[in-house]
Structure 1
């Protein structure tokens, strides 16, 4: 990415940005940190009243905007005209492939859902789509396969009519073809859930042929011909909780209509109406919650369908903001958000399985900041100098320097002890020690004991402290 960015800068301006992989790590670390703070204008991170030291000390404002505006993944001249026609996402393909590889390595649950996800973007591009009833209806459309917990397992960014050329069955349409593309990484025996945009009898038959069960809400004009369902008026007279079922002659597909506040039609190759359970719904007539009968297919659909919405919800909390007219930058940042979201969901799930207390598990913002802090520290390694004069540093006894992440604390020989010229000793930052010392680490800027009896400095830099 650094080579492509430098090369493009030379081609456009005649000058190289002279960026490196380490500087780009720092760039992404700073960008992630910004997303956690959420200032309305990027310039505010450098302004006097709102300056953020970890950001302003990492980059000048001009340098940050230079990198952000010229960030590239590939060298344009290395991509042939034929490749550009076949793949409209060629500008970000290497990074996109790397993220997809990570998603494909995740284990598959027995229940997965497919839905549309929007990559917010209002600039000019032929890839832009409009999907109503989405929180961000305008942008690049992304078909996503996710677990109920919100872990993204696979995705396909929509490029237009030629996106699913290999699955272009006319009877399936775009939605059905998207499902067939995403199930390429799904093993037989899986149950898939999707909404009315995707569901059709042809799709369920195609999935059944692969050993995959499908369930989804369905449009009334897609139900099998000759099937007559009760009208909304008839269902309303029968009352809330009324349902009916139709099963195909081969027994491999059923259609269930359920009336709550309005009729809902579902189609499935694995679930049916029975056994029914009860759910509680608000009654405007009685001004209280009342029990309403609910078919089994509805209950199972509600439990398993929200995976993509959960992923969107997690990403939206600290989405990387980019008011920029380049769809490539917007998509690169979205891929970073997907990676962070997936990583945190896995981290949280692993810690829950280990029965860790809630306060011991990092929240999403803490997790993002920990990743950002590590990336910034890695980017600063090449700029570190061992000749800094620490003796002249102003001593601030009440200001505590945060303990860096484990990977940064244990980085080779950059961590060296030094005796500080301060009037009073400072509290040792090793968790197992309560003593005071005047020795500090030249990289971490934290104080650690070095005595005949113990070496907190060595302990902190060789194992988890």
Structure 2
């Protein structure tokens, strides 16, 4: 490798004047002038010496499919995603029911809140199993999975109802929570986190993603979009993301070979992100790669992230990198910006262990790298035709697709619903990501024989999550007992008619039962029973007869 004017025949004197580099001298990443490489076919930067053992970690023989998935949900005894979902869902349900039950609020007689019973761990696993199943059997709404229509019997999915009723599923979905809403700073206060509703789950997954898989030498950093078109301060638009142009943006570190998602950072917007003098892309890569410094990894990224400052700072921390780069970036060779280049021509410059390449193919592209060679090699394009491209470009094409590969695996079985809140979209996306990582670990575990493909793995995972859970008998008990209590109370206790607070009106429960087309709303109700009743006849019938309809 040559990095100065005395380095030999491969490198010629710099074509840059000191005055051309004044802006770079002001920047922290200025490291001297760029030197031209005379013979790109023989020039070579050193290859990193990677010695880590890559692949799944802590997966033993005889593990069930569910075991692979659960290892990503459990960090330690105090950090388990299922425990968090059960605890916080029940907490939020208690808070919401108490809020709705306080005067002057009105809790309707048929409200799902009245039938709520605390969710259990087995039920939460079954709920997740149903959600993941919806990524295989795709329908437009949650409700459509429980529809029963004799005229459209071929579209029915009766097994969803056999596992859990629609009302119970929607009740869990309505109360589903990952954190305590009452224990968070308000916007503008110190410590406010716009992701507080989902942060506990993201933190656990990042920990388990990291400890259950050791990365290969080649990794990549890129953006990932979680599709979302609702209103939220974190919603972003990226035009080149075909699957989801609108949504929540994630910075993702993935294994280039397998597509394994190793770490995700949710972009919180300019107001909430830590600002770097070198830009947003620089900080995103440094944050993701920090746990992997000095391991001789090779990280690939695109022109949004690439800058001379990033390449040099990574190299200083024992990490090699390659990326496309905008040729007008501060610190790039000035001749790249000013001198025309003909199709098929390549220009190579080097400085301080970094190589800059300008290559004119169908369009002019530029690269920065700290490893590899600019010599031309033979390969085939997407159409199977033989082509000749620089070795650095071939390496980039081979290693840049890790995040995209992960995206493809996630999108295969990710449920797509429009009516979810942002954080719930992110929660379901994270669970599907964990399922994909579990599949990659299952596939790469050599102790496992007769391996399933992705579809079969996902189907088996859903079956094992649901297990033997059936709401059936529990659901019948859940519905009957509260009704008996209400019937006994309305026939034996003392009741008085009163005006509904705040000028609100309700349907008379007796009139509506006898004439379902009657739409008249009244201002009188029984406050103890919380039902609308006409003052005279209907009030008397409701409180003296078991069957008042």
TM over 0.5: yes
Matched, 1:314 2:420: no
- Partners of 1:114 and 1:193 within 8 A in 2: yes
- Alignment size in residue pairs: 365
- Partners of 2:298 and 2:321 within 8 A in 1: yes
- Partners of 1:104 and 1:185 within 8 A in 2: no
Matched, 1:89 2:195: yes
Given candidates 116, 121, 140, the residue that maps to 2:223 is: 116
Tell me which of the two structures has the higher relative contact order, counting C-alpha pairs closer than 8 angstroms and 6 or more residues apart: 2
Matched, 1:76 2:187: no
Once the 2 structures are TM-superposed, how far is the Cα of residue 330 of structure 1 from its aligned partner? 0.4
- Partners of 2:302 and 2:323 within 8 A in 1: yes
Look up the match of 2:135.
35
Alpha-carbon distance in 2 for matches of 1:177, 1:382: 52
1:251-400 equivalence runs, <5 A: 252-274=353-375, 276-280=376-380, 291-350=386-445, 353=446, 360-377=450-467, 379-380=469-470
Alpha-carbon distance in 2 for matches of 1:230, 1:177: 26
Alpha-carbon distance in 1 for matches of 2:394, 2:384: 18
Given candidates 277, 280, 283, the residue that maps to 1:170 is: 277
- Partners of 1:113 and 1:308 within 8 A in 2: yes
Per mean C-alpha deviation after superposition, the further-off stretch among 7-16 and 77-86 is 77-86
TM-score by length of 1: 0.73
Look up the match of 1:104.
210
Once the 2 structures are TM-superposed, how far is the Cα of residue 224 of structure 1 from its aligned partner? 2.4
- Describe the superposition over 1:284-322 as per-residue Cα deviations: whole angstroms up to 9, x where unpaired: xxxx98644311111111111100000000111111223
Look up the match of 1:399.
none
**Aligned with 2:134: secondary structure?**
helix
Seen in structure 2, the aligned counterparts of structure 1 residues 233 and 383 have a Cα distance that, compared at 3 Å, is: farther
Matched, 1:157 2:266: yes
- Partners of 1:281 and 1:292 within 8 A in 2: yes
Matched, 1:147 2:231: no
Structure 2: segments with no counterpart, 5+ residues = 1-84, 99-112, 476-549
**Aligned with 1:229: secondary structure?**
helix
Alpha-carbon distance in 2 for matches of 1:37, 1:333: 15
**Aligned with 2:214: secondary structure?**
coil
Once the 2 structures are TM-superposed, how far is the Cα of residue 70 of structure 1 from its aligned partner? 2.2
- Partners of 1:215 and 1:271 within 8 A in 2: no
Alignment RMSD, CA only? 2.6
- Partners of 2:221 and 2:403 within 8 A in 1: yes
Per mean C-alpha deviation after superposition, the further-off stretch among 291-300 and 210-219 is 291-300
TM-score by length of 2: 0.62
- Partners of 1:128 and 1:138 within 8 A in 2: yes
Per mean C-alpha deviation after superposition, the further-off stretch among 52-61 and 2-11 is 2-11
Higher Cα radius of gyration: 2
- Partners of 1:232 and 1:263 within 8 A in 2: no
Look up the match of 2:54.
none
Per mean C-alpha deviation after superposition, the further-off stretch among 206-215 and 14-23 is 14-23
**Aligned with 1:35: secondary structure?**
coil
